[in-house]
Structure 1
């Protein structure tokens, strides 16, 4: 299985996503600074929260609409909105005109676009891929996303302050390219049955759809396990980062003397570099383990690694454990997403993907709670707590993998017919 064997929709989405995330990573990670400068830190925090909650709400609408009106239609509407938002942001941060208020409004429009397009994008990838292709597809997607974010973030750190107008110009051009790709090159992968429902009937059906999604106990348990495991990843920039900055003494590392804050930076760089390098070879590494064993063992490595990072101040242990958890991460992600792709029924994939998108927000919530608890409890207790969160998620995966394998076998049989 090779990249050229994928459906053209997959090839276009991977290339387009790399370009969009590359340019977007030069801007959006720094927009909190932009808002704080123009509105103050307190107001900036409230504005960012509004943005997040708008995105969450629209994601459910986008998931439902993607099943009701087709994936491509939702993607095209979202990308046109995004083009309008980025172009307006460019104009509002030009040498001739500046408006932070309109810029924030367009950030919200961008969140709406992500909410509308996200579930349809993910559902389309499942629509046009076969089960044997998905691990490689998700591996390449994960690799491309990490590489684009890493490079874009570094470049943005140097350019954001003095070249914001030019960055928004590049973002607008990339958005225009995406609109053209979606409009003229992407193929529709889901043609829904004709519906004559009135607006209020769509509202009722939306709630009925997500009630049906929540009644799928296997999917709910899979999502809960995913939230618990993903929350470990956010600990590095939340509780673990704060703990290292407060507890870790300055130590010698090669030619540098580094403190806790710099250590966190090195650990993040180690993770990013290893993910980018390992993902190039991970699908070619031969092993006899079944997917269910790979998922459980990789989650266990991920959990033990973050448990150690939550307690140790020894540089060697920290770097070794980061390597261990990163190996677990690169094995886990393709298998986890491949299982996820086999769970939803064909006519409700966007809705399932919308609900699955909550994993990010719920994981961030858990990470935020641990920051508060970390101010009260000693680090040894927090380390055991973080380890426990990961072990519970791993245990849930262990318990549901037989049912996941059955669900995937049924999906493969149905696709073969």
Structure 2
């Protein structure tokens, strides 16, 4: 589906989300360092476990409301909340207010995302969804490549200016949604606007989620995704610990005399940047290569690539071998990314699509709780043991995906 043929809703969101995502990556990688410097690493580590809980609540709430009151109002609220929280962060006189603003940012983004994903599914024919989601992923990862490099300068030297810029961009994006984006909630969805109390509304939404979580196919899909994400999430968990403590300084080009010598921290930076660059360059072509693969095969192949690629990192600490292993596990993450959203978009009933999108956030949230076990165990278990554990998690996800598609037969993709 060519960009010029996209609905105006999608074009506005692609530009707005891409620009904001670059600003996001200018501050997010440095938040833990910021709070660690101000409050101590031990307290900062504990504090960082709380935001995922608020994000989970925000995702479930945002998904439920997107099916009840529409995609557009939920997206407006999420964008507005983030703009206000950035402004609060910018003027805050206290690190604890900074922390509350950071939680608010995560909450606003979590409320926004299910409605945003549901809007894509509303507008795009089933056979084009992978490509559309991949395009959004590409735009987001351009920010993930440029943001950290710029943020290393701006976050610590011009933090207030950066935060005000983020707030301004989100206010402009809010205005664009308000004036230009139209509602896409399907007619089949429950759009009743009765006088039920707010408590009754929340009771109805949680009842809806109870039905979703009793869906055995969705439950197996969620468990498989959690185990698959454990290996993918090591990029910013165990991988920096491993590289910084186990990989020695070495030249970037060992075959060239006088080549740039990289320390362990710089090596991790190069690996992280290489991962983001691969996403930007290859997410669209990779999605096109795999567009005719069955979802079952894509999920299984992704888990195998991610697990084997991450495991390979522990076999050799030579820089170019690390780059090679990075290519393998990055491609594992890459082939999976668009398919997860397209799977939910056509599996979920049309009238509950937002709720299913919200419930899908359980995968990264629970995965984010489980994945740090590798860092915890690294004090007693050697690196190869940790990487073997990561591989085992990936193999468990493969078995669960096999079971998933024994229970669920893929529907042929058809034009909406």
Partner of 1:49: 49
SS in 2 for 1:87: helix
Q: How far apart, CA to CA, are the structure 2 residues paired with 1:24 and 1:297?
A: 30
Name 2:5's counterpart in structure 1.
5
Structure 1 residue 286 displacement after superposition: 8.0
Q: Distance in 2 between matches of 1:283 and 1:239?
A: 28
Q: Aligned with 2:225: secondary structure?
A: helix
Q: Which residue of 2 aligns with 1:225?
A: 224
**CA shift in 2, pair 1:39/1:242, >3 Å:** closer
Aligned residue in 2 for 1:95: none
Mapped contact 2:63–2:355 kept (Cα < 8 A): yes
Say if 2:131 and 2:284, in contact at 8 Å, map to a contact too: no
- Residue in 2 aligned with 1:136? 131
Matching of residue 363 in structure 1 with residue 367 in structure 2: yes
**8 A Cα contact 1:310 1:386, kept in partner:** no
Match of 1:84 in 2: 84
- In the alignment, structure 1 residue 352 sits paired with structure 2 residue 331: no
Residue 105 (structure 1) aligns with: 100
Give a deviation string over 1:290-331, Cα, whole Å, max 9, x none.
443333223322221111113432434322221222233322
Instruction: Evaluate the alpha carbon distance shift between residue 34 and residue 324 of structure 1 in structure 2; reply closer, same or farther with a 3 A threshold.
Output: closer
The separation in 2 between residues aligned to 1:345 and 1:53, in whole angstroms, is: 26
| Superposition TM-score, scaled by structure 2 size | 0.89
Secondary structure of the residue that 2:261 maps to in structure 1? strand
2:79, 2:108 within 8 Å by CA — same for their partners in 1?
yes
SS at match of 1:161: helix
1:102 positional shift: 3.4
1:381 maps to 385
RMSD, aligned CA? 2.4
Structure 2 residue aligned with 1:330: 334
Q: Does 1:168 align with 2:166?
A: no
Equivalent residue for 1:157?
152
Distance in 2, Cα, partners of 1:332 & 1:151: 23
Does residue 30 (structure 1) correspond to residue 30 (structure 2)? The answer is yes
1:7 Cα offset (Å): 2.1
Match of 2:277 in 1: 273
Structure 2 residue runs without a partner (length 5+): 254-258
Aligned residue for 2:381, secondary structure, equals coil
| CA displacement at 1:226 relative to structure 2 | 1.5
CA distance 1:384–1:108, change in 2 (3 Å): closer
> Taking structure 1 as reference, are residues 382 and 106 closer, same or farther at Cα in structure 2, changes over 3 Å only?
closer
Preserved CA contact (<8 Å) 1:223 1:359: yes
User: Does structure 1 residue 393 correspond to structure 2 residue 397?
Assistant: yes
CA 1:209 to 1:365, structure 2 compared with 1: closer, same or farther past 3 Å? same
Q: In 1, distance between residues paired with 2:292 and 2:63?
A: 37
Question: What are the residue-to-residue correspondences of 1:164-203 with 2, within 5 Å?
Answer: 164-190=159-185, 192-196=190-194, 197-203=196-202
2:173 partner SS: helix
Distance 1:371 1:85 in 2: 31
